[in-house]
Every structure is written in C-alpha cells, then in structure tokens.
Structure 1
C-alpha cells in the first residue's frame, strides 16, 4: 500500500492514508511522510475467534468513515481488504462523486475457511455476501495476481477490463545486500531465515516441525534459524519451539528495523516459506517470497500454485504439508552452495524484471484511468 501511495503521489494525486496506529511505533494520530498525509486511529487487535474480528472490523469501519469525512472532498476511495466492509465508506462518499477502487489483498471467504476451519457456516455465507457487495460497488478491482483476477471475473462478475493485476513487489533499492553478520549464525556454519506474519494460516508451526525433522531424521545440527516477524501465534510458536527442543537453535526476533532485517537476510543461506496448502494460500502471493528473491536468497516452499508462479526456479518445492520432505530440501541446499547462488540469482532477476514494481505501477495508474472512464460511462 505504501508503494501505491507514493506512486499515486508522484502521478499528481493528493494522497491521504487512513490506518490503525502502531503499538510501539507509528503511534502519532497524524503524520506527513514523503508528501503522503496519514490519519491513524486506535484499534485493538482481534482476540477470541470470529466475534473478535467482528469487533475489530466494526471499529475500523467506524473510524475509517469518521476520518474520511474529516479529509473533505474525495475523488477516489481506494480500499484494501480484509475486511470486505469498506464499500460502505465508498458508497457514502459516492454521493459526492467519489470513485471506488477495490484493492483485493485477500480472498476473505478463503481466508475464513483457512483460518477458522468452521466450514461453510453462517459466517462464511456472510463474508461471501460482503465480498459480492464489494465487487458490485467497485468501479475497478485491483488483484494481486492472476488467480485473484480470475476470482474477480468469475465469482465477482467483473468485466475483464475492470480488473488490473498490481503485484506486491518489493522495492529493489530497499532490499539490498549488506555485509554478512557471522555473529547471526551463533557459531553454526549455516543460517536459516523466516520472514513474515505469524498467524494460524502462515505455517510457522510447519517450519518448526521441519527443523525438528532436519535435526532428528537427518542428523543435521549445523544450522541456526531466525524467525523475524510477529502475529497472533507468536507466543504459541515460541512455546512450540521449546516443546520440540529447538530453543537453542531457533531465535524469534519479533518485528525489527530494516537494518537488522537486511543483516539477517544477507547472511541467510536458505529462506523458509512454509505456508501450508489451504484454499487461501494456494492462490495467494506471499510477500516474503518476493522479498527473499529481492535479496537473492534460495527458498524452500511447499507446493502451492501461486508460490511456483512467483518464485519459479528460485525455490524448491516439497509436497504440500510434508515436513520431512521440507527438511530434506533444506539439507539439499545447505550442501550445495553453487545451487544456492544460482537460485538466488534467478530470484533477483525475476524481481528486478518481470515481477518488478515498475510493471505494477503502470497497472495501478491504468486502473485509476479505468475507474474514471467507468464512472463517466455510468
């Protein structure tokens, strides 16, 4: 979203961002960064399952509407999900002539199925209804990949010319090599790295179990692993690492500054993308995969449709959810530095070339032109 904001500002738009405040940083209610005005509100993260998310999303919707009215006249409401509720804000501002660009970062029905495991119950049907209403209200839809675009056209009923693929591509200038930090290896020959959110559907537990298999089944203790990021299951994953006897081999950093992130990624021999197969992960583009490739790191992933589309030969793919095979692929790369270099170079070239932000930026600006053209026809 930040890259989209900067691209729109560079194209001549006045950009206002409405979002929650951070817990330990970005706590100011208002800020102007690189010419983008940011309006923040307090938000308590969801706890207690689906009802907790209803409270969180309801609070976010109210504050977003309140701050949007404070901004004044708005030409475009550009809303990313989840939740699929911001069409209500767009409809309220449409009376003043605003267009609605729906930036679909998640397929919420698939997210619901993958996160809660409750099946197609009443809440599932509710989120499906909200998605349909959001599609219907949108002048154009921005999809993060071709799988999401297909859903917008088939399930969402959007015309193909109303859906634009804007990939979440890292800025190459932000993700750059720095000198490796041998101290990060904690005295071991190799460093493994996980970067990203730690939620129920993100597979950190699969990664930890694979590391336990790497040690127990393959006899490999020549590695140290660092897990960078936070999320709903952070404390549970720390506890699981202790339960598996990995406390001395695995380090959890929480969220860290960019300088530390670059230091870990520049030192890492292999990066982990352990997202399990589920309805959401199979069709989603993982930011961490793109960021690993930007840092020229080889990747081990489970076999997922969009993971292969993104990484190609920059990753090795274990059968879905098979932690023993995942461990074997890690070991294979640890033993083959030439292959690690080759895969890293392929990934870097993909992010700098066909998957670069420059391509996505053109699609973003084309989506805005289409939003205006669509409203003019109506």
Structure 2
C-alpha cells in the first residue's frame, strides 16, 4: 500500500510524538509498504532547530526506507498561547504544497497525526482528492488540554474550537488514539465506534531492558555510588507538572542519600533550574543520544512521572512505556478512574496529582525499601513485555490496514465500507 503520513513531529526528535511517528513509519516500510512523510524539521523538546536542519527551507531525505519531506516553520522562543498557534499554523501553511504534490502520488491511506489538528483539514482534503482512506491518529486531545491548562482562554473561543474539532474529526474514515479513556473521549465527541481504533504507544523492549550493573551515567554525573537516584526524563512542558516534582525535591534537599536527575528540555526547564538547580544532590541535564537511552533509564532507582490533574486522560504520557521497560520502580501522579492510574497502580506507586508533600513522602518510603523497588520493577517489566511491546502495539494497526488493503483490492471504497459497517 501507499501510505502518506502527515504530522509536524518526526525523527531525529528523541522524545514524544516524533519518536513514535518515525518508528511507525519505519515499521510500515519494513513491511513492504511505500511510505512518505510530510513533517517539519526537528525542534522538540528544545524548541529550537538543530544544526543541519533549516526552519526556512524545504528539504527531503531518505530515512529508514521512508521518503521524508520537511516543510519550514516558525519556532517561538517561548511557546505560549497565541505564539504556539502561530507556530502550528506556520507549518500547516508551509506543508500544504507538499501535501498537494503527494496527492498526485495517489496514496491509499493518508495518516494524519495530531497534534496538530491544524494539519488535519489539508490531510483530509488530500485523502479525498486522491480517493484515499483518511485516518486521524490522536496522541493528545490538544484543544481540551489547551483550555484546561490555561494555554488558551475564553468561553466563545472554546466553544468554537471544540465545535470545529468535532466537525473535523467526524469527517475522517478512521480515528485512532492511544488509550481506552481517550477512545471514550473520542466517542463522546461523536465518532462512531466502528471508526475508532486503539493504537497505543510502545516500548522497544529489546532496546530498553534492565541492566545487571549500575548505569555508567551515575559516575559520569558525579553521583555517589550508594545514592538512590530519582529520575525524570522527557519533555519539560506545561502538561508535566514539573513544578510539583521540583517542590518535592526541595522537601528532600537534606536527604543526602537521594539524588534527583532531571533530563530533558522545554519551557519548564527554567522553573526546575530556578527551584532546585543549586541543590548539591540535583542534576539537570540534556537529553542523551539514543544509544545511551538504556543507560539513562537504568540510571533511575525510582522513575517519577508527575502529571497535572487537569490533563488527566487528555494525554497519556508516552514516557511511561520506557519506564516500565527499564525494570525500575515507578511513581506516578494520577487520580483514580484515569487510565494512568489504572496502568501504574498494579505495578507502581500512585499519589494524587499536584501534591508535592505526598510525592516527597512516597519517594522517601520507596527509597527506603529496596525489595519493594525490585518487586515493582519486575512487575513493570513484565507488563511492558506483555502489553507495551512493538509487536503488541502494531497488532491493531496491522489488522486495520490489512482490512483496508483487502477492501481496496476487492474494489470496495474504504469510506463506503466504513459507513456500511457503522
């Protein structure tokens, strides 16, 4: 099949949506599909374009058997509110000529990745022009999250944005997302069950696995060999609630047997730096290259996943897959009834979102209980192998695409088939 993937984020971004989109595209190409990608140059989570890429010029490359076309975009220094919208709009506009060009390639599937929904109208239009199956994959419910997190405000703007989102989503032949709760949210927005697919994020359990030794990064960072390392690794943005983790670290600043490592970049890194950067038992470091990812995740004795309560079930933190795969204990901030709570509670420690004192207490208790850390780490690893592997994640995707391919070869239009079954 010919598959056109359209999304702002892509490799070599090492975290977030770009990582998963690139791995998915490479896996499709390895299955003998013809795959093209229209995306932006890498900028996330640092919010700057690295050397070797341009924010002003179109470019193309062949990566892992995939033809990748990059459209220019504007990257704000401080991505907030209206500046973030201009950023997304700049890519939606600049990528349009590439999408029109690829309509003449006659793809069988146009696979749009959200964020950003601003791309979706062009993706849907190209699918219709080329008589392709229009597929929308939702990593975050960005409209809901933007208003709940205060990135966007105003009741009229909210009603307008939600109405436009609903109308747009209902036009796609297939809508997929990464968790059961997010599927429920999509259903509440009017998407027929027959058009919904669960396509979760995954961990490469052969690349990320428990080490039988201490991570080399511990010595490299100047941490005491006996220190219990509390690690946060990933994007440092508004959704992550890093101010709560920083406050918990301050609560434990005199506990010299603990070491806190914050790894990543983004708008909230300055908050972390100002709050606890001067602590002798705290390290704030950049993302490590992909070949050091397993060393990084095994640096943790305790992984911590902070999360703002108002973002619950609008996003499902992708970093959780690697945490479990590493075989290290996990503490997450989540509320009962959310998918994050249900995922972590049987095999980790869950504390209420937004409460730094309770988070600090949970870190202290788990730091004092090495056998419990080991037990939780084993449970998380087993869960990753059973439910979060690439093979498990690609099962639903492959089944849906095989059905679409069979319909195409039999002469049944995918859109018609979808409507008849719904």
| TM-score calculated relative to the size of structure 1 | 0.90
Counterpart in 1 of 2:22?
A: 2
Counterpart in 1 of 2:146?
A: 112
Q: Per the alignment, in what secondary structure is the counterpart of residue 16 of structure 1?
A: strand
| CA distances 1:187-241 after superposition (whole Å, capped 9, x unpaired) | 26221110111111211111110111123xxx52212211111112222321222
Counterpart in 2 of 1:126?
A: 160
More displaced 10-residue stretch of structure 1: 105-114 or 161-170: 105-114
Counterpart in 2 of 1:49?
A: 80
Say whether residues 1:149 and 2:189 are aligned partners: no
| CA distances 1:243-290 after superposition (whole Å, capped 9, x unpaired) | xx53x2222212220233322321211111011211x23453211211
In 2, Cα distance between equivalents of 1:256 and 1:272? 18
Contact 1:272 1:299 in 2 (8 A): yes
1:170-189 to 2 correspondences below 5 Å: 170-178=203-211, 179=213, 180-181=215-216, 182-183=218-219, 184=221, 186-187=223-224, 189=227
Counterpart in 1 of 2:290?
A: 258
Say whether residues 1:32 and 2:62 are aligned partners: yes
Do the aligned partners of residues 25 and 167 (structure 1) sit closer, same or farther apart at CA in structure 2, a change above 3 Å counting?
farther
Counterpart in 2 of 1:231?
A: 266
Contact 1:196 1:228 in 2 (8 A): yes
| Alpha-carbon distance, 1:352 to partner | 0.6
Contact 2:209 2:327 in 1 (8 A): no
More displaced 10-residue stretch of structure 1: 92-101 or 289-298: 92-101
Unaligned runs of 5+ in 1: none
State the aligned residue count. Answer: 370
| Alpha-carbon distance, 1:309 to partner | 2.5
| Alpha-carbon distance, 1:371 to partner | 5.4
| Alpha-carbon distance, 1:81 to partner | 0.9
In 1, Cα distance between equivalents of 2:108 and 2:268? 39
Do the aligned partners of residues 128 and 250 (structure 1) sit closer, same or farther apart at CA in structure 2, a change above 3 Å counting?
same
In 2, Cα distance between equivalents of 1:110 and 1:56? 18
Say whether residues 1:323 and 2:356 are aligned partners: yes
More displaced 10-residue stretch of structure 1: 64-73 or 291-300: 64-73
Contact 2:246 2:276 in 1 (8 A): yes
Do the aligned partners of residues 334 and 363 (structure 1) sit closer, same or farther apart at CA in structure 2, a change above 3 Å counting?
same
Contact 1:105 1:143 in 2 (8 A): yes
- Among 263, 267, 273, the residue aligned to 2:299: 267
| CA distances 1:287-311 after superposition (whole Å, capped 9, x unpaired) | 1211110101111111231222322
Say whether residues 1:356 and 2:376 are aligned partners: no
In 2, Cα distance between equivalents of 1:12 and 1:161? 27
Q: Per the alignment, in what secondary structure is the counterpart of residue 353 of structure 1?
A: helix
Counterpart in 1 of 2:410?
A: none
Q: Per the alignment, in what secondary structure is the counterpart of residue 112 of structure 2?
A: strand
More displaced 10-residue stretch of structure 1: 318-327 or 367-376: 367-376
In 2, Cα distance between equivalents of 1:121 and 1:255? 38
| CA distances 1:74-119 after superposition (whole Å, capped 9, x unpaired) | 2221111122122321333112212211001111232112332655
| CA distances 1:105-151 after superposition (whole Å, capped 9, x unpaired) | 11123211233265552332232123212212210011100011111
Say whether residues 1:209 and 2:242 are aligned partners: no
In 2, Cα distance between equivalents of 1:117 and 1:266? 34
Structure 1 residue ranges, 4+ long, deviating more than 6 angstroms after superposition: none
Q: Per the alignment, in what secondary structure is the counterpart of residue 100 of structure 1?
A: strand
Aligned alpha-carbon RMSD (Å): 2.2
Counterpart in 1 of 2:97?
A: 66
| Alpha-carbon distance, 1:328 to partner | 0.9
More displaced 10-residue stretch of structure 1: 367-376 or 190-199: 367-376
In 2, Cα distance between equivalents of 1:266 and 1:145? 26
| CA distances 1:310-341 after superposition (whole Å, capped 9, x unpaired) | 22333211122111110111111111111111
Q: Per the alignment, in what secondary structure is the counterpart of residue 229 of structure 2?
A: strand
Q: Per the alignment, in what secondary structure is the counterpart of residue 299 of structure 1?
A: strand
